[in-house]
Amino acid sequence: MARKKSKGTELAVFKGREDKLNRAIFQILSENEALVKYDVHKLVTDQRGFKRTRYGSIKKRIRILEETGYLKRAGERKTQPGSEGILYEVTFKAYAAMKLDTTNFEDLFNRLDEDSALELLALLTRIQSHEQSKP
């Protein structure tokens, strides 16, 4: 089952009503190869606490997570009825969100050496300059 409370940075993807379901979807897709929505639904409902989760809720969450860049399409696969099902997998943004969710920044800064601090500073500067260059 997905964790209940964040130990690290609280991101919007892990807040609100869909917090536990997002965690479960990320966990399932990061542990498995790319899956279709139906497979994700089957695995989510098999976990404790998600038995009554509807397929429509999973479809909506996957669509929103794809639009926000946390999931991406990884191809297609034949489904049992014979149509094509879209395969989904987590993006590096989702992996980063999961890692930030468990990272306490106070502990991180206490263990940060000079070279790592320089890399972190360069990354933050690059992200800020990329945001400023957007129209």
Q: What are 71's strand-pairing partners?
A: 90
Q: Tens digits of per-residue pLDDT, 108-126?
A: 888 889 999 999 899 989 9
What is the CATH number that goes with domain 1-103? 1.10.10.10
Domain spans in the chain, listed from the N-terminal domain onward:
1-103, 104-135
Check: CB of residue 29 under 8 Å from CB of residue 40: yes
pTM for this predicted structure:
0.81
Over 50: is that where the pLDDT of 53 sits? yes
